[in-house]
Structure 1
Amino acid sequence: MDKENNIMLVGDIMLDFAGSTGLTDPDRAPRRYLWTDAFAVCNFLELYRRSHDETWLELARQLVDQVHHVLGRHRDDGQASGWLSGLDEQEGELHPTIGGLRIGKKLPERAPDEPADERLEWDRDGQYYHYLTKWMHALSCMTRVAGDVTYLRWGMELARTAHRAFRYAATPEGSPALQWKMSIDLKRPQVRSAGLHDPLDGLVTYSELRSLAGDFAVDGLPDLGEEIGELAAMCRGKSLATDDPLGIGGLLCDANWMELLVIKGDFQHLRLFRQVLDDSLASLESAGDGFLELPARYRLAFRELGLSIGLRGVANLARLVVEFQEDHDPDLLFELTPRIEALTPHLAMVPKIERFWREERNKGTEHWKEHRDINMVMLATSLAPEEFLQAG
């Protein structure tokens, strides 16, 4: 009964989201935000998988199309117009992601001659690498469910564009790293610091795209082998531990996708996989669960729900034991099993997080209202995460 109630709530949330953000309501101007929309695509696909109702699949298609036509083009209040790639209208329709995708922030980006303002930058538009990887994953899910390699091509073109634009030489020796935030046209960094998990997100997502390309065996797709090699080098020897709930959830999601790709034989970075499991556990133990006792006004729902979604992926990791028993090195199985078992007790946080944010009384804070779209969509993902947690 709980699962049935959950999926009914997910359906209600997503219909409200579709109407309130201008996806299905023609009287509303589209309000697109790349991170939220990536999760929303997966939620629509999950509703389609469970119901076989084509309406949900069509909503996923419409959302992808609207994201590309809004965030793949310059802002209406900017000096430039048309596709971010600079392609003409016809070519831009064929390659809508090849110029990247805007974040969807309310304020225009910082001008080249404008001084940086760290506080204001959070509300300014531009391009985020970790938002682009989430959209690549959503396009992978569309490919797998709809069986249309057009989405895969768009995801791989976006991967190649993002890697070239965000990559820079971080040391005098030329060691590569990734910028945190770039301008809308991808010509200048807006925030130079590197995201802790961006190289890992890129490595896992590009590996997912490459794995899916192998399944469909389509000619002419980008290979991404060089990019995957560089991202693996960026991850090597670096701690990924964090005390941020959303960051921990992201680590656990990456571990989940790594596991699925390892099982397929499409991810060979097993030392990194072990490290992600170790750093995830260390992060969970360091952060603790004391934040679950705080009142709503001191909490950010989407960050906690990101952790909940990642913890949902921990349940998938247990499958690794069964799969490896038949096909893989028993010594590796011996190393991974205790790591997975140590993560399992932390699953107890999931129902606590979900129950808290389902309560209407906890949705009256300014934090909730300011982030309502992302909060509701990620709550829906946590309640029904299977499509989001798939890979390849």
Structure 2
Amino acid sequence: MTGDANTTIVRDLMAEFAGLTGLDPPRARPRRYLWTDAYAVCNYLELFRRTGDGTYRDLALRLVDQVHHTLGRHRDDDSRTGWISGLPEEEGEAHPTRGGLRIGKPLPERKPGEPFDERLEWERDGQYYHYLTKWMHALSRVSRVTGDPVYVQWAVELAKAAHAAFTHVPSSGGRKRTYWKMSIDLARPLVPAMGQHDPLDGFVTYSELRAAGGRIDLTPEIADMAGICRGGSLATDDPLGIGGLLFDAGRIVQILEGSGRIAQLAGREGFAHENLLASVLDAALSGLARFSGGGTLRYPADYRLAFREFGLSIGIRGVGPLAERVRENPPLSRQADALMRYVPLADEIERFWTDPKNREAGTWMQNREINTVMLATSLAPREFLTV
């Protein structure tokens, strides 16, 4: 499929998303969901880059504003009101991310003392760490594209708030860990388990923000996340998780390009995470081998979750640029060349889901907004994959 054809499809997909969620035309109570919106911001920036049409830049900025004024404030069905940070109105407007951002789930968060129900918890509101890091990345991209430093400042303030709330030392002792899910006010964990790739994602995202020129120092947070990363297993056969590894690998390489150090991710004060990039690429290769041998891409649409597959195809779309950047480093170049063998998987995923008949499946329609946006990202991934 040509770039022009992709641009046309992406424009249509993002127009569909804007109408479905109350972005354009704007609704008084838009339906915002943090993960989807982070990808959508990058998609509008990509359409602006491709077409030069300022309407798409303006949609990205309007979406940022809607997210902050919807997910940065308490729910309509909550007895609490105002900014979830607790800041007064004027100060909250100036610092909309200081209390984090809600997920945007349909049900209220679990109340203190209310029994845990795993099925219901997936539909309950709160804050997810890995959603917050995606929004930090989106804000960083807005700052780069517009030249306005306030967006990366908001991203850094979000990083500070999230890190302080989500990281903890277990009561049994040992190294710091991160919680999977926190309450809306960041006062208590709702799911205390740690996401497998959350520390890596935090480490890379904080490093991205530092490289973007945020005025607030994130050195202690970067060091914390590096310590949590050490010794953890990254391997997964989940396509969304594999795609996340590839996304992080691509960002690591871009962050390192300026310093000329491709073997490690080094901090300004001498801290270094040895062999990080090689470990991430190894885990991605292992996961791709297992996933591609599993045969799930041969299933009919009703038995597939498109957004998880798009996580993989988006990550794969960054492999080519990554391979070019590590060409002068033989060990990393060999890993990148091995990854290039899996590029046809992205083509296969996109070809399947761009077929309108497959987008009539129940699994598509039940997750229509996230599927629509992530398909658009896969077809036009440059802004999302760039730091």
Counterpart in the other structure of 2:191: 191
Deviation at 1:262, TM superposition (A): 1.4
Counterpart of 1:330? none
Match for residue 355 of structure 2?
359
Of 303-312 and 164-173, deviating more is: 164-173
Paired amino acid for 1:316: P
* Superposition deviation, residue 270 in structure 1: 4.4
Distance 1:366 1:256, change over 3 A: same
Question: Aligned to 1:115, what secondary structure does the other structure show?
Answer: coil
1:11-26 to 2 correspondences below 5 Å: 11-26=11-26
1:360 deviates by 1.3
Residue type of the partner of 1:117?
Answer: D
**Structure 2 unaligned residues grouped into runs of 5+:** 267-272
Equivalent AA in structure 2 for residue 314 of structure 1: V
Q: 1:345 aligns with which of 341, 347, 352?
A: 341
Q: Which blocks of at least 5 consecutive residues in structure 1 are unaligned?
A: 326-332
Aligned residue number for residue 390 of structure 1: 386
The alignment status of 1:295 with 2:289, answered yes or no, reads: no
Return the offset for 1:335: 1.8
Distance 1:171 1:188 in 2: 14
Q: Distance in 2 between matches of 1:171 and 1:248?
A: 31
| Structure 1 residues 333-360: Cα deviation after superposition (integer angstroms, max 9, x where no partner) | 1221111111110011011100111111
The secondary structure found in structure 2 opposite 1:83 is coil
* 1:10 matches 2:10: yes
Deviations 1:15-48 (A, max 9, x none): 1211221112245630000000000000000000
CA shift, 1:239, in A, is 1.5
- Mapped to 2, the partners of 1:67 and 1:318 lie a distance apart of 35
1:236 to 223, 226, 230: 230
In structure 1, the partner of 2:364 is 368
* Alignment check: 8 A CA contact 1:85 1:100 kept: yes
The residue type equivalent to 1:101 in the other structure is L
- Normalised TM-score (structure 1): 0.94
Give, as a single letter, the amino acid of the residue that structure 2 aligns with 1:222.
I
Query: Which of 242, 260, 263 in structure 1 is aligned with 2:254?
Result: 260
Does the residue aligned with 2:386 lie in a helix, a strand or coil? coil
Aligned match of 1:115: 115
The secondary structure found in structure 2 opposite 1:190 is: strand
Asked if 2 retains the 8 angstrom alpha-carbon contact of 1:142 and 1:151, the reply is yes
- Distance in 1 (alpha carbons) for counterparts of 2:12 and 2:359: 16
Task: State the partner residue of 2:287.
Answer: 283
Tell me, in whole angstroms, the C-alpha distance in 2 between the residues paired with 1:165 and 1:321.
36
Question: Of 331, 346, 357, which residue of structure 2 is paired with 1:335?
Answer: 331
1:245 and 2:239 are equivalent in the alignment: yes
3-state secondary structure, aligned to 2:48: helix
Pairs within 5 Å for 1:1-392: 2-27=2-27, 29-170=29-170, 172-213=172-213, 221-265=215-259, 267-268=265-266, 269-289=273-293, 290-322=295-327, 325=328, 333-391=329-387
Rounded Cα–Cα distance in structure 2 between residues aligned with 1:27 and 1:45: 22
Question: 1:46-86 deviations in whole A, cap 9, x for unaligned?
Answer: 00011111111000000000000000000000011100110
* CA distance in 2 between partners of 1:23 and 1:334 (Å): 47
Kindly tell me: are residues 225 and 18 of structure 1, through their superposed partners in 2, closer, same or farther at Cα, counting changes over 3 Å?
Answer: same
CA distance in 1, matches of 2:10, 2:27: 24
- The residue type equivalent to 2:386 in the other structure is Q
| RMSD, aligned CA | 1.3
